[in-house]
Structure 1
Amino acid sequence: MKPLSHWRNWFAVHLGINQDRKLAVYFDLLRSVSLRDASYWLQVIFSAGIATLGLVLNSPAVIIGAMLISPLMGTILATGLAFAAGDLVLAIRAVVSLNLSCWVAILFATLLISILPFKELTPEIAARTNPNALDLVIALFSGALGAIATCKEPKGVVTSVPGVAIAVALMPPLCVVGYGIGVSQSLDFSEGMRVAGGGGLLLLTNLSAITFIAMLIFLLLNIDTPEVKEQVRQWHHQDAESRRVQILIERFPISNRWEVIGSLRSRLFVILVPLLVLLIPLSRALGRLEQGIVVQQRENQIRQVATNLWRQDFSEQPDGELRSYIDQLSSQEQQGRLTLRLTVFTRQFYSEAEQQTFTQRLSDRLNRPADNVILQLVQIPTASSEALAMLLEDSVSEQTAAESRPLTVAEARAKFLQTTDAALQSLTLPPPATLVRYEVLTNVAEPLKIRLIYLSEREIEADGKNLLRGTIRERLSFPTATVELERLVSAPAPLTLGSNQVSLTAEQKRTLGPVGQTLERYPNLSLRIVSKVNEKELFVDLEDALDLHQQRFEAIKAELTAQWQISVDRLTLVKGQNTSQSPQVGFRFTLTPSVAEAETPKVNPKN
């Protein structure tokens, strides 16, 4: 059996890499880690600036321009060469240069983000915050081609170098880290750190994978021949930076054991450990991606089965006339229960029995228990079957006409609100928070902002807010949407009254003002007015005390109806326990029952 060195030489010869080329490649990579090369640092800064602006502007062309500069590629390949050849001096210089380069790029990106007036999380940024195991495979392939392209003579293979630079994409993840740090310092700490962590994971994945595969390629090419090593040893003695590193190494006793700890097995272990550690979060991310695809496929199948069932058995009357047409259909599965939301135009409402029949047949086709399938049917009446036929005809031709006729502003607005409403209608908040409504705001600087207004005694915790933001972005399929949460205090400041006081002073009316403003702004809120009398207030019997409660309630009701036009149906008197302190009137907001049970909150689009 032929030795390994034979196959290494065979591989190098068939790639056209001779002894002179090996030495030239080694020296080129040695020069690439110099800290005194001003042009290198200018490339790092300028490419970081281009990549950062391209990410913020969501411009793939600009980002590709930053990738093509690719100043870090030589330093990473030098690290792989150092591991392959066991060159401790080159390894130290390459690692130091790589670390400094990364921090320069990150700090410059952070500086740019802090200066920019807008910090929108664009799709180009979001795409680099959730790496998975496939990104590791891409980095391995790209690093292998990059190492081979570096070793080959610059002939035909030079055409692959731009592709390698784009595929590896070293600078954009660095700038995503800088973007996240900039956002965490100026806007949202938790969101910024999440983005920075995702970009950092992608960066470490690329660095580790490229270094590992470059090491293997250089080993296969037998680039560390004795002749090359001797030339490199002389070069280290002559180069000022290498001499300083050698002097530093000789000061440590561990340098005497380098032959043992610097063996090929030890070097492979050092480079494989980070890869194996990174595989844990990357594999989990790939699993989540696969799970999301499976869920999407299952939802598509459910919608297809439900649509076919409705059209076959429920869309026509016994005489063959068209009875209904499906306008919207969506499904959501939580805790094993399937909720199907169906909106139809119909000339005749479907009875409860018909809806139960549809649910039963659908559950049979899906092989699910009927109790686990819930139908939420919204029926929109229409006058005749001709109108339904027109709707159906419009829906058939809608796809072909969509490309030729752009949507009007009104159509786009209606479609946008319907999509948002369908995505958020079943949103639940962590208790004791209750959703009052949500608002949709759009403008040029901020493409989409969702503002949730919720009623609660306390703020939702940071983890809960982050989970809600992620859920909303996922439901909207809009990873760059800005989600704000605004709390309404469920118990505003009470009114302190004097003994036997039944009318409001000017100061007390001003205190009552914010309560009236809240009721006016949110018509789906009601107000419980809790009256507490003092034990020493002058009343003869229980009826006098009850009358005192009622008189104070009437005074507050009169103020709210006169100044804020609040309906009396939204005001409720609650007689509280007596108190030994000053008499008080407390307030507590609640959701109006008819509104709280509605399927969807109110949407307020704003331009």
Structure 2
Amino acid sequence: MTDDNVQTTSPEQSKSNQAAGPFAPVTESVSLFRRWWRMVVRADVDQQTVIDKVREDSGFTPHFAFMTSMSAGIAILGLLLSSPAVVIGAMLLSPLMGPIMGAGFALAVGDSAWLKESGKAIVLGTIISILFAGLVVTLSPLQTVTAEIAARTRPNLFDLLVALFSAMAGAYAMIRGRMGTIVGVAIATALMPPLAVVGFGLATFNWAVFGGSLLLFFTNLMTIALTATAMAWLYGFRSYLSERQSQFQIAAMVVVFIALAIPLGLSLRQIAWEANVSRSANGYIKDQFGKRSSVSQIEIDFDADPIVINATVFTPKILAGAAEQSSRVLSRTLGKPISVNLDQFKVETGEDANSAELAAAKMREQAQEAEIQVTRLRENLALIAGVSVDDVTLDTSKRRAMVVAKPLSGASLASYYALEQRVASGAKGWIIRLQPPAIALPELIVTDGVLDPKSNNNLNLIIWAYGRIGLPLGMNGAAADRAVVKEALTAKNVVIAQESGMVTPNGGVRLRWLAPSEGVSAE
């Protein structure tokens, strides 16, 4: 028996009823937009043409290897010369964008063969770039960290965003057939300069530079590839992947972006904090000394514990205890222990508005002269010691310079002493220490129980060499003569570790160098 009052609903009516509700306008708008995107935006994209074009630039070829090498060479030279124009030229030549975009599109369509081909080009291109840049650095006399190099050693979240927006623009240009935009994308993402800096870090064994620049390149690489994948999906490129595989890819992309964003975000936070420290220090020191004072040459060592701030102040009035007060206030304000060192220079008149600037200019000129003096001192010490400038140790804070000399043909201890004195005479205010090689020591003559006056210079040379080399000494000669020499040396804190009664041909006292293990006094 049936009830005529029971009404059945069709599937269309059921779907319509489910759509009704408070969010119906929103869902209908989204559906309308998706329909418009599919029928209008996607419709005029020739997917096969785009894929053929991207695939053409994705593989590893001799042309790719040559252009990668030349780009790396230009990039590292521009970085060493700190020339932005040369670095930009290297970005334009770099062909690395092709295989990275290819890897992104291969992921989107699920073409494993294409992905392997692109991955091979990326890996080989990366290795070629690093090794070629490292070779150039090894052969170059310039191996200092320039501003252009330092700028690529601390990647942060902004670098990820630059790569993200650039990759979106690049993928859009490829899909829509506007390939000219890729030039701008190549400059924005700057794939080659970080690789060149990686080569610099490898060649100079500077692992901080190596690691920071490698992270920057990896950030750009992953961001470009994954963004290209997302853009290809957005434009409906056909995929050979199952629904489950596609979901896995999406999840993996989200994980990679989060994994990159966390350390880069922390790096950005640290950079912002350091900028805040610099701004706070400059502002407080300026307020402390007054408007007519000028603060310049603020240098902050964030690696020190506590953090050290060095500043130069040009002021009409010298303030006692300003450094200690600045340290207390800044430590309390910034929440970390901070040590402030202030160099105060009194300007001639507080009424002259330009006096502080003139004093600052004079200070900068003096700093440049001091830098030139340090460079000349390093070169002079390296020259007389027969070593490279990298083997010279300088402590500018204590104004000390030290170098270990190589044996020079025909040179005696007197020769090395004279060389040290020559350098010291031209470096006023510096402590110069030239360590001679452990060559033969001069003989000492004792006459009538007293050291012969002619041996005084030899005695001074022995004392000087002992202080520089630091090896234990042995002594040969008659017992009475040894006692006289030992007394003279002991007065100058020179310790004789071993003694022997062997008489020298000239009847004097002969000292000799001993091995460190022999540095035990013989009784």
Correspondence for 1:24: 49
Aligned to 2:171: 147
- TM-score normalised per structure 2: 0.63
Residue 83 (structure 2) pairs with residue 59 (structure 1): yes
CA offsets 1:524-561 (integer angstroms, 9 cap, x no match): x9x99999999x9459xxxx97x7654446xxxxxxxx
In structure 2, C-alpha distance between the alignment counterparts of 1:46 and 1:336, rounded to whole Å: 45
**How far has the Cα of 1:81 moved from its partner?**
1.3
Q: Which digits, 9 at most, give the CA deviation of each residue in 1:237-282, with x for residues without a partner?
A: xxxxxxxxxxxxxxxxxxxxx869x801332344455444444543
Q: Which runs of 5+ in 1 are unaligned?
A: 230-257, 312-324, 422-437, 459-485, 520-524, 554-571, 588-607
Letter in 2 for 1:266: F
> Which structure would you say has the larger Rg?
2
Q: Which residue of 2 aligns with 1:316?
A: none
Query: Residue 163 and residue 344 in structure 1: after superposition, are their counterparts in 2 closer, same or farther (change >3 A)?
Result: closer
Separation in structure 2 between the aligned mates of residue 169 and residue 355 of structure 1, nearest angstrom: 50
Does the residue aligned with 2:268 lie in a helix, a strand or coil?
helix
Query: Helix, strand or coil for the counterpart of 1:28?
Result: helix
Given candidates 267, 287, 302, the residue that maps to 1:285 is: 267
Equivalent position of 1:220 in the other structure: 234
Question: 2: CA distance between counterparts of 1:340 and 1:411?
Answer: 14
1:94 aligned residue (70, 93, 118)? 118
**Local SS of the residue matching 2:154:** coil
Residue of structure 2 equivalent to 1:573: 492
**CA distance in structure 2 between the aligned counterparts of 1:305 and 1:30, rounded to whole angstroms:** 62
Deviation at 1:518, TM superposition (A): 11
Question: Which of 305, 315, 320 in structure 2 is aligned with 1:355?
Answer: 320
For the 8 Å contact 1:11–1:220, the answer to whether it is kept is no
Residue in structure 2 matching 1:266, options 248, 260, 281: 248
Indicate conservation of the 8 Å contact 1:531/1:573, yes or no: no
Q: Work out whether 1:134 is the aligned partner of 2:158.
A: yes
The 3 A distance-change label for structure 1 pair 90 and 8 is farther
CA drift of 1:74 comes to: 2.3
* Structure 1 residue 10, shift from structure 2 partner: 3.9
**What is the TM-score of this pair, normalised by structure 1?**
0.55
Please give the residue correspondences for 1:336-375 in structure 2 after superposition, counting only pairs within 5 Å: 355=320
Q: Does 1:209 align with 2:234?
A: no
Residue correspondence of structure 1 range 156-195 to structure 2 within 5 A: 160-181=181-202, 184=203, 188=204, 190-191=205-206, 193-195=207-209
Q: Deviations over 1:404-453 (max 9, x none)?
A: xxx8xx886414357x79xxxxxxxxxxxxxxxx9344999xxx999515
Q: Distance in 1 between matches of 2:53 and 2:307?
A: 63
- 2:74 aligned partner: 50
1:106-149 per-residue CA deviation (whole Å, 9 max, x = no partner) reads: 33333444444544433222222222222111111111111111
Tell me if structure 2 keeps the 8 A contact 1:502–1:551. Answer: no
Q: Quick one: distance in 2 between partners of 1:153 and 1:372?
A: 56
**Cα distance between partner residues in 2 of 1:112 and 1:517:** 41
Is 1:416 the equivalent of 2:361? no
**Which residue pairs with 1:598 in the alignment?**
none
Q: Distance in 1 between matches of 2:438 and 2:177?
A: 77
Shift of the 8–552 alpha-carbon distance from structure 1 to 2, 3 Å rule, reads same
C-alpha distance 82-5 of structure 1, shift in aligned 2 (>3 A): farther
Aligned residue among 100, 108, 112 for 2:132: 108
Structure-1 residue corresponding to 2:12: none
- Separation (CA, whole Å) in 1 of partners of 2:285 and 2:51: 60
SS in 2 for 1:18: coil
Partner residue of 1:388 out of 344, 349, 362 = 349
When residues 514 and 179 of structure 1 are mapped into structure 2, their CA distance, relative to the original with a 3 A threshold, is: farther
Give 2:37's aligned amino acid: F
Percent of residue pairs bearing the same amino acid type: 24
Q: Can you give the 5+ residue segments of structure 2 that lack an aligned partner in the other structure?
A: 1-26, 380-388, 405-431, 502-508, 514-523
1:438-457 matches, cutoff 5 A: 439-441=374-376, 452-453=394-395
- Structure-1 separation of matches of 2:330 and 2:196: 47
Specify whether residues 159 and 533 from structure 1 end up closer, same or farther in structure 2 by C-alpha distance, changes over 3 A only: closer
Give, in angstroms, the shift of residue 335 of structure 1: 5.5
Measure the CA separation in 1 of the matches of 2:214 and 2:297: 40
Measured at CA, do residues 368 and 532 of structure 1 come closer, stay the same or move farther in structure 2, by a change above 3 Å? farther
Q: 1:360 to 1:58 in 2, by over 3 A?
A: closer
Task: Return the match for 1:308 from 280, 286, 290.
Answer: 290
Instruction: For 1:295, give the aligned amino acid.
Output: V
Judging changes above 3 Å, is the alpha-carbon distance between structure 1 residues 276 and 396 closer, same or farther for their aligned structure 2 residues? same
SS at the partner of 2:354? helix
How many corresponding residue pairs? 431
Task: Name the SS for the 1:71 alignment partner.
Answer: coil
Code of the residue aligned with 2:236 in structure 1: it is N
- 1:528-543 matches, cutoff 5 A: 537=479
Structure 2 CA distance for partners of 1:332 and 1:135, relative to 1, 3 Å: closer
Tell me the distance in 2 between the aligned counterparts of 1:270 and 1:180: 31
CA–CA distance in structure 2, aligned partners of residues 166 and 27 of structure 1: 24
Letter in 2 for 1:26: I
In 2 relative to 1, CA 574–34 (structure 1 residues): closer, same or farther, beyond 3 Å?
closer
Question: Alignment partner of 1:388: what SS?
Answer: coil
Q: Report the CA distance between 1:220 and its aligned residue.
A: 1.2
- Aligned equivalent of 1:75: 99
CA distance in 1, matches of 2:452, 2:473: 14
Deviation at 1:152, TM superposition (A): 0.6
Q: Is residue 2:32 matched to residue 1:11?
A: no
User: Counterpart of 1:208 in structure 2: which amino acid?
Assistant: M
- Relative distance call for 1:379 and 1:395 in structure 2 (3 A) is closer
Q: In the aligned structure 2, how far is the partner of 1:161 from the partner of 1:76?
A: 13
Letter in 2 for 1:28: K
Higher relative contact order (CA 8 A, sep 6+): 1
Instruction: Map 1:410-489 to 2 at 5 A.
Output: 413-417=365-369, 439-441=374-376, 452-453=394-395
